A and B are shown apart, each in its own frame.
Chain A
Amino acid sequence: MEEGLKNFWHLVSLPDNVPIIGMLGLVIFYTWQSMRKALRNDRLGTPIEASMTDRVQVWPYLVRIEFLTSVVVILILTVWSVGIDAPLEEPANPGRTPNPSKAPWYFLGLQEMLVYFDPWLAGIVFPFLIQAGLMAIPYVDINPKGNGYYTWKERRFAIGFFLFGFLILWVFLIILGTLLRGPGWNFFFPWEEWDAHKVVAANSRDWPELFGKFPAKNVDGSINTGHVIIGSLSIIGYYFFGNLLLKKVILPRATKDKDIVKKLGPLRYGTVAFFVLTCMTMPIKIILRLTLDVKYVLSTPWINF
């Protein structure tokens, strides 16, 4: 326990990890601030921002803010650079792999996905989808309200989904990957000692195997048809029922508009549904892994899901 905490403290105070702790603080502070403002605006009916309709001159009112901010930021950087040295470890040695091997901190959320998905999904398709999905946001969000002020009531679905994605799937997974993943990318609580030989139950179970004898491959190496059928049906079923749920319950309720799907039109709605449902496969797979020890939903010689 003592050793574990010491190790945890060591991790927290690693020069490269200090900014992450700072980020966590800022994210929490800003989330609290903006939600507070959003709720206040919702209560008032007219956003408080709307009361400041007059204009001010940029010189001096904006320039002085910019100047002071620059001074403060550079001061912080100076103190930080005097106080904490950037890390420089032993020279590069391709023959000696450190354990754990971690990507730069901002990619640890993506590295975390590798636990649940094969590299082509976690490392290629998902990063690409994150980027594409972000770029699609302005074109699928047709709600004209909530432009230029903090609000929650007027944009429940958009804000709820973004908060989930940003806070849980991005920031939280970065923290998890930085502080709680040890040798072998195994999970360690802060008080646990890092044990390079930690034995973790091998999760060799695939989703179809929960329903009977449906391993990915039969003993003779041939493909198990039951496995493929159950696996594919589960994936198709997920998108089918997920789509229904989104269309009939979640979107209309969250936006308080029965016709929202019609207003979105097939292209916009399809985009939203695809990104939302695909994004949710991540938490779903985490839950399946933690509760039922499931590795793949469908495993074929070519690709696994």
Chain B
Amino acid sequence: MSDIIKVPNKRQVVKSDGGGKKDLVQQFYESQIYTSIFRHDYKDNKRNRALQIVNNVFLHLHPTRVSRHAIDVGYTWGMGGITLLLFIVTAVTGILLMFYYRPTSEYAYNDMKQLMHDVPFGAFIRNMHRWAAHSMVICVMLHMYRVFLTGSYKPPREFNWVIGVNLLVLTLALSFTGYLLPWDQLAIWAITVGSNMARAVPFLGHAGPFAPEFHQLVGFGGAPDADVRFILLGGTEVGAPTLLRFYVLHTVFLPIVTAVLLAVHFWRIRKDGGISGPPMIEFNKAVTDASKLKVSVVDHLPKYEYVQGFKQVEGEQNFKEAIRKDLEILKQKSSSKLANLINTIDQAAEQNIKGGENTENKDNHQNHNNTTNTDEHQHH
């Protein structure tokens, strides 16, 4: 065996099997090539499982461990992940299509015909691009549906929902701009119908309310060749300039914006504490993290989960004591800079405890109302 293949390496932690002949698989795991790529051996143990995630730039979007219910397909429907996969599929097939497609009114349709009939696998690539795009629209709607039904837009994930809404709009815009590119009857008329709406923008579209008056004032908006639709289409109707505009939007601008927002979306999922879960799970997550970081749980959780979690762990009677203790820890640990923050949290928790006291004997709904009345939340 040459030295290149079998180099003793600091990265390598595999134990020798006592001088016996190693099988091929074992040799592969010990080779310089393998160890250079994966940076740790392949023994199945907890450490390696974690390294597998942390040492991989793509996988490390994930935490190394998640709560069991977060991987329950019946909970998330996997729809966000599938949407991402479909976005990647459209990106890859889209690049292949760009090799054969020219966005001018002379060539566009013929290039499509060629793709469908002459280019090897051309039809397959185009079909896949189109069906993945349609599926992406469907999956993103279902993803939003799931996020709503599980209430996952609630604190601390409000802002990620807002980013999500923008992703939904971007997905529709991507699909809409792509619809024009085949430059056939279906395409131009669908886009004509869709973009006719822009005529009706109040003030700014020539058929919109108050457009003539606005036009008199500023010289824009009231005429077919000087309104927002004209800007969108690059003309008074769907034509060659529209094709170029939509092509640029579809292949450059919108994908980039979408990719950037996706990065923010995923980053926020991690920052907001991973996939949402019922109070007990949020509580457990925070307690483990807090004990690792030696901080208080109070600054890790929106108040509702915080109080509910303590209630479930300590019981209705003792949970206030537990919360007070937690607050004490926070007070001792934190620097003077944090003093203000702590005071706010302290007051908020006091209020919550009082709220809880008033309603301990009433039914569930009354109880929940009382925890509603303070709606500021502490989260990072």
Chain A residues positioned under 8 Å from B185 (CB to CB): 89-93, 96, 98
**Residue A245 lies at the interface, judged by CB distance under 8 Å to chain B:** no
Q: B-side binding surface: helix, strand, loop or mixed? A: helix
Residues from chain A with Cβ under 8 Å of B59 in the complex: 58-59, 63
Q: Is A26 in contact with B138, judged by CB distance below 8 angstroms?
A: yes
Shortest 10 CB-CB contacts between residues of A and residues of B: A123-B197, A144-B304, A138-B158, A119-B200, A81-B127, A52-B69, A148-B276, A52-B68, A147-B154, A120-B200
In the assembled complex, the Cα of A188 lies from the Cα of B331 at a distance in Å of: 70
Chain B window 337-348, contacts with chain A (Cβ cutoff 8 Å), 1 for yes, 0 for no: 000000000000
Complex: A138 Cα to B160 Cα, angstroms:
10
Chain A residue nearest to B159 in the complex (CB): A138
Report which A residues bind B (CB closer than 8 A): 16, 19, 22-23, 26-27, 30, 33-34, 37-38, 46-47, 49-50, 52-63, 65-66, 69-70, 73-74, 77-78, 80-82, 84-94, 96-98, 101-104, 106-107, 110-111, 118-120, 122-125, 127, 131, 134-135, 137-139, 141-151, 154-155, 158-159, 162, 166, 170, 255-257, 259-260, 263, 302-303
The one of B141, B190, B276, B368 in contact with A145, judged by C-beta atoms closer than 8 angstroms, is: B368
Whether B62 and A58, one on each chain, are in contact in the complex, defined by CB atoms closer than 8 angstroms, is: yes
B106 vs chain A, min Cβ distance (A)? 11
For residue B186, CB closer than 8 A to chain A, the reply is yes
A-B contact pairs, 13 of them (CB 8 A): A49-B69, A56-B67, A57-B49, A62-B62, A66-B81, A81-B127, A89-B185, A107-B194, A124-B198, A137-B148, A138-B153, A144-B304, A148-B277
Q: Does B231 contact A (CB under 8 A)?
A: no
CB-based contact B89/A77 at 8 Å: yes
A104 in contact with B78 (CB, 8 Å): no
Q: Tell me which residues across on chain A come within 8 A of B268, comparing CB atoms.
A: none
Tell whether, in the assembled complex, residue B68 and residue A85 are in contact, meaning their CB atoms are under 8 Å apart.
no
**Nearest chain A CB to B192 CB, angstrom units:** 7
Task: State the Cβ distance, B137 to closest chain A Cβ, in Å.
Answer: 5
Cβ B68 vs Cβ A53 within 8 A? yes
User: Once the chains bind, are B50 and A57 in contact (CB under 8 Å)?
Assistant: yes
Interface of A is mostly: helix
User: A58–B52 Cα gap in the complex (Å)?
Assistant: 9
**Chain A residue with Cβ nearest B178:** A104
Flag whether B321 is at the interface (Cβ < 8 A): no
Q: Quick check: which of B5-13, B19-27, B128-136 contacts chain A, the rest being far away?
A: B128-136
What are the residues of chain A within 8 A of B138 when measuring CB–CB?
19, 22-23, 26
Segment from B204-212, B244-252, B259-267, B290-298 that makes contact with A:
B204-212
Q: Which residues of A contact B116 (CB under 8 A)?
A: 85, 88
The residues of B with any CB-CB pair to A shorter than 8 Å are 46, 49-50, 52-53, 59, 62-75, 77-78, 81-82, 85-86, 89, 105, 109, 112-113, 116, 123-124, 126-132, 134-135, 137-138, 141-142, 144-146, 148-155, 157-159, 161-162, 165, 168-169, 172, 175-176, 179, 182-190, 192-194, 196-202, 205, 207-210, 237-239, 276-282, 284, 288, 302-305, 365, 368-369, 371-373, 375
* Contact B369 A58, beta carbon cutoff 8 Å: no
Q: A84-B127, A103-B190, A119-B197 are in contact. List 20 more A-B contacts (CB 8 A).
A: A19-B134, A60-B49, A63-B53, A69-B82, A93-B188, A94-B238, A98-B185, A101-B190, A101-B193, A102-B190, A104-B190, A125-B202, A137-B153, A138-B162, A142-B375, A143-B368, A144-B372, A145-B304, A155-B151, A166-B148
Known contacts A135-B165, A149-B150; is A86 also within 8 Å of B145 by CB?
no
Given A34-B146, A52-B68, A66-B81, also A88-B369 (CB < 8 A): no
Closest to A93 in B: B185
Kindly identify which residue among B86, B197, B199, B284 contacts A73, using a CB–CB cutoff of 8 Å: B86
CB-CB under 8 A from B112, the residues of chain A are 88
Bound complex: CA A118 to CA B200 (Å):
9
Please give, as numbers and ranges, the residues of chain A lying within 8 Å of B77 by CB-CB distance: 30
A135 → B minimal CB distance (Å): 5
Is B372's CB under 8 angstroms from A143's CB?
Answer: yes
Q: Which B residues lie within 8 Å of A139 (CB)?
A: 158
What separation, in Å, do the CA atoms of A298 and B179 have in the docked complex? 36
**Which residue of B46, B280, B304 contacts A50 across the interface (Cβ within 8 Å)?**
B280
Which residues of B lie under 8 Å from residue A145 when comparing CB positions? 151, 304, 368
Which of A59, A69, A102 contacts B81, CB < 8 Å? A69
Query: A16-B134, A155-B151 are contacts. A26–B142 as well, Cβ < 8 Å?
Result: yes
Are A302 and B65 in contact, CB atoms less than 8 angstroms apart?
A: no
Give A180 to B280 CA distance when docked, in angstroms.
48
Minimum CB–CB distance from B39 to chain A (whole Å) comes to 14
Distance to closest chain B CB from A68 (angstroms): 10
Cross-chain contact B176 with A104 (CB below 8 angstroms): yes
Min CB distance B235 to A, Å, is: 11
User: Would you call A92 and B188 a contact (CB within 8 A)?
Assistant: yes
User: B residues within 8 A CB of A66?
Assistant: 81
Evaluate contact between B126 and A47: CB separation under 8 angstroms. Answer: no
Instruction: Return the contact of B199 from the options A38, A74, A119, A134 (Cβ within 8 A).
Output: A119
Asked if A59 and B281 sit within 8 Å, CB to CB, the answer is no
Q: Measured between alpha carbons, how far is A162 from B130 in the docked complex, in Å? A: 29
Return the chain B residue nearest A14 by Cβ.
B186
Q: Tell me the smallest distance from the CB of B154 to a CB of chain A, in Å.
A: 4
Q: Please, how many angstroms separate the alpha-carbon atoms of A231 and B67 in the complex?
A: 57
Q: Kindly state the separation between the CA atoms of A49 and B127 in the bound complex, as whole angstroms.
A: 39
A60 to B52, CA, bound (A): 9
A104 CA to B137 CA, complexed, in Å = 11
Q: Report how far A251 CA is from B181 CA in the complex, Å.
A: 47
For B304, list chain A residues within 8 Å (CB): 144-145, 147
Residues of A within 8 A of B129 (CB): 86
Q: How far is the CA of A147 from the CA of B157 in the complex (A)?
A: 10
Bound complex: CA A163 to CA B175 (Å): 25
Whether the pair A53, B194 counts as a contact (CB closer than 8 A) is no
- Centre residue among A34, A57, A125, A147 by max chain B CB count within 10 A: A147
